[in-house]
Amino acid sequence: MDTVKQQSADGLTQSLNVEKIRQDFPILSREVYGMPLVYLDNAATTQKPKAVLDRVAYFYNQINGNIHRGVHKLSEESTQEYENAREVVRNFINARKTSEVVFTSGTTASINLAAYSFGEVFVHSGDEVVVSEMEHHSNIVPWQLLCERKGASLKILPFRDDGQLCIDQLEGLLTPRTKIIAVTQVSNTLGTVNPVKEIVRIAHNHGIPVLVDGAQGVKHGNIDVQDIDADFYAFSGHKIYGPTGIGVLYGKENWLEKMVPWQGGGDMINRVTFAKTTFNELPFKFEAGTANYIGASGLAAALDYYTKIGVSAATAYESDLIQYATRKLSEIGGIRIFGTAPDKAAIISFLVDNVHPYDTGMILDKLGVAVRTGNHCTQPVIDHYGIDGTVRASLAFYNTYDEVDRLVEAVQRVKEIFG
């Protein structure tokens, strides 16, 4: 993809040909309420480029056969596409082996899988699991369920008011009973980019494995799970321009080998008798039933597309764009921003004066600007600030400075309406 340097009105550099990129995303040219759509809800889900839509349609139209079990041509080709997709994912996150890439239905399923299958073997009564205060419910509740089942306890690494984790308190939380740390790479509410590599280093000094929730982080910069040295890394296809219903759990082979299966069924077995069942090799041991092989292929198309755009260029552009948005929103006056860490992804949570976030969101919607309001599945974050929720704008590389201006104008309108 060509990249061009453009100057925004504010003098910030635009190193992507965004107008050209936007043409790859059919939905971006639709209107809502007679106005061009401004889609700023990318942390909830991203839009899909034609490359992904075409791949999925082609698969259903020309290739579809159930994987791994058939001798016929369609099954063989489908299997090949599915396993090719696994290799694309492996390469994208730089895992050592494809056997360490487990396909799931999304981040939530990946974390539940890890919590159950790791927890069954390694977590016992009196043990401890550490999560941070800024986790998505998906990275809290599965661990809570595990702790309740096992009689273990959940310990919390807090964050400061600016949205940075209190890393200096991590060491003090760890005990010989700490069995795993689960932490998000990027907060979906505060936008904070956490120092996950540093967290892993501290944890490993104590012999403790780390699960990184990469739902938001996977598209923020080039991901190298070996460099982070994460023991587990979870993400969803739909948040990185791929289809819904497909996700990944990366796990280091030495952990996955020792973990028990999560779900039983077809594909995950080696030999079944009524007396005993033996399990398939990695990663199939964790992929019971018909996998979302077409989703996996769509995800591979998304990762190929994103790689062609240039992950670094996209992240740099998003970073410029969020700085611009932050400055412009702050200039309005009366805007409270939640999450002001120095290292932030393209997510901004805010409140307008004393206006309820839901009211702000409704007005923004009527002005064609799609944002999210509420607790963003992070109730402890909202509780931290003692508020009802926030308005969250989350940007992607296909958003423009003009769209940020539309957001700012819409927020000004909210202020006018509420006096």
Q: How far is the CB of 252 from ligand PMP (least distance, A)?
A: 20
Cα separation, 30 vs 22, in Å, equals 12
Q: Which of 42, 67, 101, 106 binds ligand PMP (CB under 6 A)?
A: 106
Count of residues of this chain found to bind ligand PMP when the rule CB under 6 A is applied: 14
DSSP code of 344? Answer: B
Catalytic status, residue 147: no
Question: How would you classify residue 376: left for phi > 0, otherwise alpha for psi between -120 and 50, otherwise beta?
Answer: left
Applying the rule CB under 6 A, the residues between 305 and 344 that interact with ligand PMP are: none
Region from 103-111, 144-152, 170-178, 304-312 binding ligand PMP, contact rule CB under 6 A:
103-111
Q: Are 88 and 303 in contact (CB under 8 A)?
A: yes
Q: How far is the CB of 346 from ligand PMP (least distance, A)?
A: 13
Quote the distance between the C-alpha of residue 129 and its chain's center. Answer: 21
What is the separation, in whole angstroms, between the first and last Cα of the chain? 46
Query: Other CB atoms closer than 10 Å to residue 226's CB: what's the count?
Result: 11
Q: How far is the CB of 380 from ligand PMP (least distance, A)?
A: 13
Q: How far is the CB of 9 from ligand PMP (least distance, A)?
A: 31
Q: Are 104 and 291 in contact (CB under 8 A)?
A: no
Element (H, E) at 122: helix 107-122
Site string for ligand PMP, 22-61 (x = CB under 6 A): ---------------------x------------------
Applying the rule CB under 6 A, the residues between 222 and 241 that interact with ligand PMP are: 236
Cα separation, 388 vs 379, in Å, equals 9
Region from 57-65, 105-113, 116-124, 159-167 binding ligand PMP, contact rule CB under 6 A:
105-113
CA-only gyration radius of the chain, Å: 22
Q: How far is the CB of 101 from ligand PMP (least distance, A)?
A: 17
Rounded (5°) CA angle 32-326-241: 50
- Of 136 and 179, nearer to ligand PMP (C-beta) is 136
Q: Which of 99, 112, 132, 138 binds ligand PMP (CB under 6 A)?
A: 138
Q: How far is the CB of 211 from ligand PMP (least distance, A)?
A: 11
Q: Which of 42, 47, 78, 107 binds ligand PMP (CB under 6 A)?
A: 107
Cα separation, 194 vs 202, in Å, equals 14
- Of 215 and 268, nearer to ligand PMP (C-beta) is 215
Region from 104-112, 204-212, 318-326, 330-338 binding ligand PMP, contact rule CB under 6 A:
104-112
Element (H, E) at 183: strand 178-184
Applying the rule CB under 6 A, the residues between 361 and 400 that interact with ligand PMP are: 377
Tell me: does residue 348 bind ligand PMP (CB under 6 A).
no
Q: How far is the CB of 200 from ligand PMP (least distance, A)?
A: 17
Q: Are 232 and 209 in contact (CB under 8 A)?
A: yes
Q: What is the DSSP string of 73-97?
A: HHHHHHHHHHHHHHHHHHHHHT-S-
Beta strands of 255-409 (E only): which ranges?
269-272, 277-279, 335-338, 347-352, 369-370, 372-374, 390-394
Region from 10-18, 106-114, 161-169, 346-354 binding ligand PMP, contact rule CB under 6 A:
106-114
- Of 235 and 401, nearer to ligand PMP (C-beta) is 235
Query: Other CB atoms closer than 10 Å to residue 51's CB: what's the count?
Result: 17
Applying the rule CB under 6 A, the residues between 182 and 221 that interact with ligand PMP are: 184, 188, 213, 215-216
Of 36, 377, 412, 415, which is the active-site residue? 377
Q: Contact positions toward ligand PMP, by CB under 6 A?
A: 43, 106-108, 136, 138-139, 184, 188, 213, 215-216, 236, 377
Active site positions, annotated: 377
